[in-house]
A and B are shown apart, each in its own frame.
Chain A
Amino acid sequence: MSEANRQDEAEKLSRREAAVKLIKISLGLAAGAGVLGEFTGTEKAEAGAMLEVPAAAPPPLPERIPQDEAIFRMQQELHRALQKPVAERNWTMVIDNRKCVGCSTCTVACKAENKLPPGVVYRPVMEEEYGKFPNVARRFLPRPCMHCTHPPCTKVCPVSATWRSKDGVVVIDYEKCIGCRYCISACPYGARTFDWGEYYTDGTPQREKYETEPSFEYVKEWPRAKGRSPVNNTRKCHFCLHRLVNGMLPMCVTSCIGRATYFGDRNDPESLVSELIGNSRLMRLKEELGTAPSVYYLV
């Protein structure tokens, strides 16, 4: 519950910022300042009231702004997809490269959400620079796990510790994984990394609390301790499966400041991702290898 509250607060915060921007642009600075005051006022009142409201009653949602349409829609589609049997869902991510500003918020949000140690990263953002001054452009490419339809990594696992689940997510059973790292070599996208059992404060006098917090990957609690899984296991992006089953979008989608990452069920023809996939800007990474990724890019 406290998790959900924090979630709501975070969403409110980002929405408020977006609202501020929109109003500044459309109404001009002077008019905007007035409305801004009004907005922050209502927010404060709500936050104050929330403390007295019993835990069961959710706080009322603030007014929607156009930028939020996508996330509300994806949220609704997520709920719709969760009504279906698991095998009928097909989780898909679409990343709009033109909207990505390369801020790496998703990388950091993912690191925090999954309590990732040094050496482990699920969603780095790659940068490319084109041309020569003064004709220069940069392009950013977030790289989560591709959740391939034909994953080369699951095939090689000697102990069947990793597989593509019915809803299209490539998962790892940390308890089964023997740490041979064959799958890391087999992934053409470098999407699998290894948990070396290291801490950010290694070599300093004190280990910080955030480093030993458990992660909740695959809807299980994983306390961090020496020699205990997921230490010495391969780790990878799992589309925040633990959030999905609780009706929340993956952390990278929620946290994206440019709304460049979309998520949904591509078996649902009316979903946003299905809509985006029907686009001439569409491409997938290393399509020639026949892996058929579930992560699409709009370039």
Chain B
Amino acid sequence: MKRLYYLCLLTLTLLGFWALGVRLLEGLKVTGLTSYFSWGAWVVLYIFFIGLSAGSFLLSTMIYVFNMHSLEKVGRIALLSALFALIGGLLFVFIDLGHPERFWRSLVYWNTASVLVWEIRFYLLYILLVLAELWLVMREDLGELAKHGTGWRRPLARVLSLGYRPAVTSEGRNRQQAAAARWVKILGILGVPMAVGVHGGTGSLFAVTIAKPFWNNSIVPVVFIVSALVSGAALVTFLYAFFAGEEEDKLGVLKSLAQLLILFIGIDLLLVAAEYLVGLYSGIPDDVEPMHQVIAGQYGLIFWLGQIGLAAVVPLLLCSLPRTRNSSRWLGLAGLSAIIGIVAVRVNLILPAYTVPQLSGLEKAYVDSRLTYNYLPSGNELLTSIGLIAFLVLLFSLTWEALPLVKGNSMRQDNFEGRIQHEGSQSQLHQA
């Protein structure tokens, strides 16, 4: 079963890399994009993955910064998802470049007025932060593995632990854990504005575009962040439900996640309602036309089935119906449904803006297959997308197997806090 799973992923990955090779050799003519409909599937997946990353990371900060102990078990999954999703986002924005070989210029030539250039720097800093936090929460287990591990895991842990070894005495261990907890908390606190910046900023890329009234709206970055939280919570729910094995109080953890999911979906629906009702009521043609496309036009199916159905109604029902809310499998499926639904949300955030000509009559002024306001992803776009996603899942799965992610929670925050209480009572005794 596992072998089949990896074989499938590997096949898809190779297929995707072949398509990617064609794309890199032939340039962007392999896409279905046009000069007027200039961003498509890859940009949709780019913001989807950045959102997934920011959402997972914010979930991890709730655990480590705001001490949501009930969710402590999924902290590492959340951080690792944040890392891989961000890498995925960067891969998709990379393959969307006309001259990918010049990507380094975005790091060297710094146009301070560009939101995009700030975002790229934000992403890189954010990767470092996630890596640092991930190392801190796992260093004890990695150190253990480096000492007592078996097989290939041992040298791997030796490298990844960066020389860190847990202390021999329990006193020393407590101190180390306390230090790690403190640093995780500090990094988490730094990470909150950073994750908000990473995805709110990604939303701002679109929101600052005065040429597209559909995007040029201050609610857009907020929608980006909230739907990121939905996708992050959904991903962690899905992963924990299906891949964490049998752990104690698994259902309890999943129920807490489901509650968060319900909360995020609720806020997301509120924002979508606000955006569409205000926009449609105001009736400015350039704004209304894309909204019509979403609600009753070419994006209607994606909206009602994906954005409303899969991303909201299905998970809400699964998380609240008495028959399903007590089953870890159903809750996991609620997560999966929400993840797929958020892809639809991302599609409807980007693509409808391109359906309206910037000036009326421009669509007929010069007839050319690359000067239209219609877009369907080409076969190459679909293949590279599926391949890159398979590649990410493959890497994630391998990491999942290699690293101590679910079993053995190294943070033991209760211990650490118990110790503080203990010390506190001792000093009180002394004073007495």
Contact = CB atoms under 8 A, between A and B. Distances in A.
Contacts, number: 160
Interface stretch (B102-110, B267-275, B291-299): B102-110
B359 interface: yes
B98 to A, nearest CB: 2
Interface string B315-358: 00000000000000000000000000000000000000100011
Given A126-B365, A156-B114, A196-B28, A178 B358 contact: no
B147 interface: no
A226 interface: yes
A184 B366 CA distance: 17
Contacts of B364: 126-127
Contact of A143 (B36, B208, B365): B365
Q: Choose among A127, A177, A185, A193 the residue with the greatest number of B CB atoms under 10 Å from its CB.
A: A185
Given A121-B366, A178-B106, A189 B359 contact: yes
A54 to B, nearest CB: 43
Contact of A176 (B38, B109, B117): B109
Nearest to A182: B116
Contacts of B120: 158
A118 B210 CA distance: 27
A181 interface: yes
B301 interface: no
Interface size class of A (residues with CB under 8 A): 35 or more
B212 interface: yes
Contacts of A176: 102, 105, 109
A231 B205 CA distance: 25
B218 interface: no
Interface stretch (B368-376, B385-393, B406-414): B368-376
Given A159-B109, A180-B98, A227 B35 contact: no
Which label, helix, strand, loop or mixed, suits the secondary structure of the B interface?
loop
B97 A285 contact: no
Interface residues of B, number: 50
B362 interface: yes
B99 A229 contact: yes
A177 B364 CA distance: 28
A128 B361 CA distance: 7
A128 B425 CA distance: 84
Closest 3 CB pairs of A and B: A179-B98, A119-B370, A232-B98
Interface of B: 25-29, 33-36, 38-39, 93, 96-100, 102-103, 105-106, 109-111, 113-117, 120, 205, 208-212, 353, 357-362, 364-366, 368-371
29 contacts: A119-B35, A121-B371, A124-B362, A127-B361, A128-B361, A143-B359, A152-B211, A156-B116, A158-B116, A159-B102, A159-B105, A160-B111, A161-B109, A178-B98, A178-B100, A178-B103, A179-B97, A180-B98, A182-B116, A185-B353, A186-B210, A186-B211, A190-B359, A193-B370, A194-B370, A196-B27, A196-B29, A227-B25, A233-B99
Given A125-B365, A178-B105, A190-B362, 15 more contacts: A119-B370, A126-B359, A126-B360, A143-B362, A177-B98, A178-B106, A179-B102, A181-B39, A185-B211, A188-B211, A190-B36, A190-B358, A190-B359, A193-B371, A232-B27
